[in-house]
Structure 1
Amino acid sequence: MTRADNPSTPTELIAQLEAEQRELVLTHFDHDDAWQLGQLLVDLAHERRAPVTIDIRHGSHQLFHYALPGTSADNDAWIERKSRVVARFGDSSYLVGARGRLAGRSLQERGMDPLHHADHGGSFPITIAGVGAIGAVTVSGLPQAEDHALVVEALRRFAAHSDRIAG
């Protein structure tokens, strides 16, 4: 791993997470794209024997949902909580959490119920150039950095193979 892949300070982590969001801006995203991205995530999870649940949404409309063996309804609850953070802030749940930890302010201290919101890694905004965040792709089941990394890897592969990247 390079230093950029393994930030050693909270400030470096935030810079890396912000760079990922600037990089992963798409030209468009529709129902068929949700299926393709979801299938890619399922394939990656199977290859790694990762017990994760995968969810893709456009706004509050769930377009894709799949739970691999080893998951439970708890993963669905984590997905709901993490995707609400993306919907609220337009940033990845990992980035929101990293910024909050650096500032010393929890979501609860910012007026959000921890039973409904989770600023743990694994939910990433689906961002369209010229439009902004329109939804979220979320993974739950691994440690937060690994959930986040799986989503980012899948989005990079999806964007590269589908010619959807705006940047």
Structure 2
Amino acid sequence: MVNVTIVSESFNNFSLEDWTQNPLDDTEWVNGKLIEKNGMTLKHSQSQSRLDRRWGNYKDESGLGGEVYTDVPCLTNIQGRRPDVAYLTPALVSQYGNQKVLPQSFPLSAEIVSPTDYAEEVIAKSAEYLQSGGEEVWLIYPENRWIIIVTKNSRLIFSSGETVSTQTVLLDFSMPVDDLFN
């Protein structure tokens, strides 16, 4: 997740349906407005890249299949979003893999939190994912070396020196927290 800026006035009347048909790069549709995701730092990008590789390698090596994406558009019940990293199961790839925008949240999503993000907004975004088809959300804090995993039934915090593991999706995946940040 990164800081956001409202896109130029020429997109004032850009609806969620417009965004679904043409999801402009680096944008989300939030609270009736098209916003640009910006503010990505080197640490943010590094964590995103490392998690993408780790989840991707795991789904390949384990034979689970599916796909791992970065900055990919999806719909929640109320917004158009782009999780920083997301996993889609083989069944959902078969069903929705050719669409421009996933019509629900990804089963597993990760948001990399930037120093300019507000905690309330990040937590609300994770709840939004869970309320629209998501099963597990990772909130990754590169500056603090924390990973918070949120599911419908639990909230877990992992920090430097610990091993983080998935809870409901990509079962049996685990990795040292520090592998995302060193």
Q: TM-score, normalised by structure 2?
A: 0.35
Structure with greater helix share of residues: 1
Bigger Cα Rg: 2
Q: Which has the higher contact order (CA 8 A, sep 6+)?
A: 1
Structure with greater strand share of residues: 2
